[in-house]
Each structure stands twice: as C-alpha cells, then as structure tokens.
Amino acid sequence: MKKRILLLAGGQSGEHEVSLMSARSVLAALPRDQFDVTPVVISKQGRWLPPTDTARALETGEAQGGGDLVLHRVASAEGYDAVFPLLHGPMGEDGTIQGLLTLAGIPFVGSGVLGSAASMDKVMTKQVLASAGVPQVAWKLATRRDWKDRPESVKQSAEELGFPLFVKPANLGSSVGISKVSRPEELTAALDLAFSLDRRVILEAMTRHKPREVEVGILGNDAPIASPVGELSFDADFYDYETKYTAGRAQMHIPARLPQDVAKRVRDLALTAFRALDCAGLSRVDFFYVEETGELFLNEVNTMPGFTTTSMYPKLFEAAGISYSDLVTRLVNLALEER
C-alpha cells in the first residue's frame, strides 16, 4: 500500500519562498511507487491553500488566494500517514506546527515540539549546548523590557563581550535582523532593529578572527549518522541575507578542506548537539572554525534546513552516497518509524 503524504510548504516566515523552492524539489523526488503526495502551500497570512492555488503557488513562487484556517485543515489531514512540514523559521520550524500535528496524532518528518523549539531559539540552544559541554562563543541575553527600562545595562553587557559583536533576534533565521557591531556607536541601531523583530535578543562575541563556516548534516532518530563536513565561502563581511540568497555570492565546498581531526570533532559535536536538543529525522548543524587558533564553535542547529537539490544538506548526504530521492524517502520512513 502506498503511503499518503501531506507536504506542507510556504508558511508565514521570511523563508516562505525558500520553502516553496525546497518543496518543488521534494515533490519531484518522492518515489511515486511508494508515496501518494499531496502538497499544501501555506500563505504568508497562515492560510492553507486549496489544490489549484497550491499548484499555482508552487509554479510561480507566489502564494495567492483565500485558503482555510489551519484548524479546519488539520481535521482533514487525518487520512494521511505522515506529514512533511517543509517550513522554515517561525511558525514552521519552531515547534508550533509540530505541536499541532502531535495533537492530531499524525507522524511527521523532523524534530518534535521540544527539539524544534529549543533549536529555533538561539538563547535556548546555547543554554542546552553549554550544559552538554559543546563549545560556543560568549553570549548574553537581553529582553525588550531590559532595553526599554535599563538600556545602560544592555550596553554594559555589550562592552563586556567586546567589539566587534553580533546582535541577533533570538528566533528568526536567514540572517534577518542580524547586525555586526564594530563600534559602540553602532550598538543602539542594531539593538533597535533586533528588538523590532523579537522580544528576546542575543548578543554574541565575535570569533577572534573571521571564522570559516563549516556545516554538517545529521540524519536519523535515535541512532543518527553524520554526513561529511561541508564549507561555505563568500566575499561579504559575514553571511548576511543578501549573500545567502543572491545566486553566485557563496560557494559550497564538499568535503570541506579540513584536517581530519577537525572534521571528526565537527561530526562528533554535531551528533552531541542533535541528541542534547532532542532532535529527530534531520538537522544541519553549523559551526565556526577559527583556523588561526584551531578553535571550533557551534553556531546553530537548523531542524528544517534548506532542501532544494542544490542546498547544503542534501548535497552533504549525496557526498555520503545517499541520493536526493533516497534521502527524502528515508526521512519519510524515519517519520513513520515507531519512536
């Protein structure tokens, strides 16, 4: 019997378009002799689009039309064997949709409520990983209330970390709202921007030298495996939104040109992080490697990484001998597996 799969794409975050691109690739790759796949595009307003509007959105990359409220659609999702929530960022990768699907009793691809929520929040990730002994840059939390009532203490936190530093909304992605602050004079604008997007903001010390950015894929549930390590290189000051999404601005190197012991540490630390955060199915774990000092810092864990055929995560597993189509098949089967 073919398994019925509901593929959710689009969503309410800034990564809506990326998700649509990923969904097109996944839709084309899931073997039809094993799966019956129904795509549903979620509009930026959170409406679940009917089939014709979904098809148009996947084709044009623009979600238009009224659509249904999520609660009406979840009831009709009951006939599915599994859901593939191919959604990035808030309201997709952060435990919200995972909670809904858990309540509805439908298995789904990827991490559950806890793993998704803990990995999405940069502060929570840091706290969990610190207790697991994973190396990270120094950081401090500030809330919108702190910034409003006690701006001097927030600035004090920044001084203690030293410049340059990074200011980031705790729960976003795609580098949206992130600033590299080189001098104290730039701090207020960076904090205003981050707090306009999130109630919680993380201040992060910058690595002492411009880091190399290396990434590794994890696949599995309770016995996860790590892919080879990949590297991203680019010309920009840091990996900002424009560099991420302008074709040709960043290059992927697989495998990363790293000493063997460093690559091994990356893979081991990524597996430790995956377990500590209670991730499942898949994650892409991103690191900073400071070549000058040999230091390795875990930067973040993405529980639903970009998933086009040219995205880092599938490319990493391709290098491990798992084709794109095998990879999506495995992910769905991991969702169906008894946990």
Ligand X SMILES: Nc1ncnc2c1ncn2[C@@H]1O[C@H](COP(=O)(O)OP(=O)(O)O)[C@@H](O)[C@H]1O
If binding is defined by CB under 6 A, does position 168 make contact with ligand X?
yes
Of residues 89, 238, 67, the one with CA closest to residue 169: 89
* 68 flagged as catalytic: no
Rounded to 5°, angle at Cα 260 from 232 and 205: 50
- Catalytic residue from among 286, 289, 313, 318: 286
Give, as ranges, the residues between 260 and 319 that touch ligand X (CB under 6 A): 286, 288, 299-300
What is the smallest separation between the CB atom of 284 and ligand X, expressed in angstroms?
Answer: 10
Residue from 14, 211, 217, 228 in contact with ligand X (CB under 6 A): 211
Of residues 94, 44, 98, 153, the one with CA closest to residue 339: 98
If binding is defined by CB under 6 A, does position 191 make contact with ligand X?
no
N residues, the chain: 339
Contacts for 150 with CB less than 8 Å, ≥ 6 apart: none
* 338 flagged as catalytic: no
Pattern 220-249, ligand X, x by CB under 6 A: ------------------xx----------
Backbone angles phi, psi at 294, to 5 degrees: 80, 5
Task: Give the pairing of strands 3-10 and 82-85.
Answer: parallel
* 174 flagged as catalytic: yes
Residue from 98, 207, 283, 303 in contact with ligand X (CB under 6 A): 207
Under a CB-based contact definition with an 8 Å cutoff, are residues 15 and 174 in contact? yes
Q: Tokens 């001084």 sit at which residue?
A: 159
* 286 flagged as catalytic: yes
Q: Name the one range near ligand X by CB under 6 A: 99-107, 205-213, 254-262, 268-276.
A: 205-213
Contacts for 14 with CB less than 8 Å, ≥ 6 apart: 89, 172, 173, 174, 176
Task: Cite the active site residues.
Answer: 15, 174, 245, 284, 286, 300, 302, 306
Interface residues with ligand X (CB under 6 A)? Answer: 137, 166, 168, 172-175, 178, 204, 206-207, 211, 213, 238-239, 286, 288, 299-300
